[in-house]
Amino acid sequence: MWRRFSITFGLAGLVLVLDQLSKSWAQSALPRLGREGITVVAGCFNLAYAENRSAAFGLLEKLPYETRRMVLTGFAIAAIMVLVGLLVTNRVQRPWTVCATGLILGGAVGNVIDRTRLGFVIDFIVWHIGEKFYWPTFNIADSGIVVGVFILLWVSYWVDRRAAVQAR
């Protein structure tokens, strides 16, 4: 049990520290020039400071700002509580799900800290294809959440499905 906790909270702590350090750097070092920012790989990857007062893909942007902030913060806190509850009640045991839980926890806490402290989430990573398609700007916390969710989906679909087929 302690090993699962150590791995989960170790990964969460790593994501959280990397996220907060990178956001602090972005806030002080990156220009506020829109998506162009600083080109890292021409036509593909930029670093540009952005303040996200909404959710991914502009979800909930039609809600009043304070309502949106409370909903997003509340949802993240509820997700954190559910994940910790699953960990404490031994429902998270496989190595991959332990890692995924840590990544999601670290990302969720990182974004909650921003929303609580600043009122918005700092984003700065910009992937794009030429000048035609831009992926929404994101950060390390968002990356931890997305990677963690993909791991959970992979485990629940492929690993569980494979185990069910082998059990027949």
Instruction: Please identify which of the residues 19, 114, 142, 160 carries the catalytic annotation.
Output: 142
Q: Which helix (H) or strand (E) holds 58?
A: none
Is 142 noted as a catalytic residue in this protein?
A: yes
Bridge partners (DSSP) of residue 50 are: 123
Neighbour count for residue 96 (Cβ, 10 Å): 12
Q: Which residue reads 């509820």 in tokens?
A: 78
Cite the beta strand spans of the chain per DSSP E. 38-41, 45-52, 121-129, 133-134
C-alpha distances in Å from residue 4, one per residue of 8, 89, 157, 159: 6, 12, 22, 19
Is 160 noted as a catalytic residue in this protein?
A: no
Instruction: Please identify which of the residues 19, 114, 123, 160 carries the catalytic annotation.
Output: 123
Q: Supply the residues annotated as catalytic.
A: 123, 142
